[in-house]
Amino acid sequence: MSIEKTGARNNFELTADTGFLRDRLLEVPEPDGQISWEELADCVGKKVRPGGPAYSSLCSARRIVARDHGIEFVTIRGIGLQRLDDSGIAHSGEFFRRKLRRVTLKGLRVFANLRNYSELTNEDQVLYNVSASTFGVIHFMIKPKQQKRIEAAITQSQSMLPVSKTLQLFK
């Protein structure tokens, strides 16, 4: 395989490892096809698991496959990767909601440890308030009770709500 440029960034040169892994990921059958860590490692002759020398190449290959071909994969612990079908993509929202909720809660805990707000510069106070307010809103909207409110509105409209209508649900 020759080194090539992707269409997304003209100055980005695809490494051979990334190209081999991309090509192998494109061969994983739909729906719910799986590929083991060993099969992926055999493509490049290096470990592709987190911490392995070809892990960054695998991450790049996954990003390229998602961006250019609309194909998403999830990690199956101890096994490898699984290709998501449309139902799998729809169900992945729950994973991201849980993750976002944990991250926003951690951020709010960090913000709560601010000791001397009055000693911050005006610029730092604004930055603090914007961050804490944004994290608070996101954390609130991701709570299960609030998700039910959004779910009820979507069930009624039978389509995704625009941001403005979603925000109106919380007034």
Query: Both tokens of residue 137?
Result: 């809103």
pLDDT tens sequence across 25-61: 999 998 889 999 999 999 999 999 999 999 999 999 9
Pick from 156, 151, 149: nearest CA to 171: 149
Distance CA 20, CA 108 (A): 42
pLDDT band at 14 (very low <50, low <70, confident <90, very high): confident
Report the pLDDT value the prediction gives residue 6, as an integer from 0 to 100: 52
pLDDT tens sequence across 136-156: 999 999 999 999 999 999 999
pLDDT at 7 over 70: no
pLDDT at 2 over 80: no
Report the pLDDT value the prediction gives residue 31, as an integer from 0 to 100: 81
Query: Both tokens of residue 95?
Result: 């994973």
pLDDT tens sequence across 81-94: 999 999 999 999 89
The amino acid at residue 21 is: L
pLDDT band at 171 (very low <50, low <70, confident <90, very high): confident
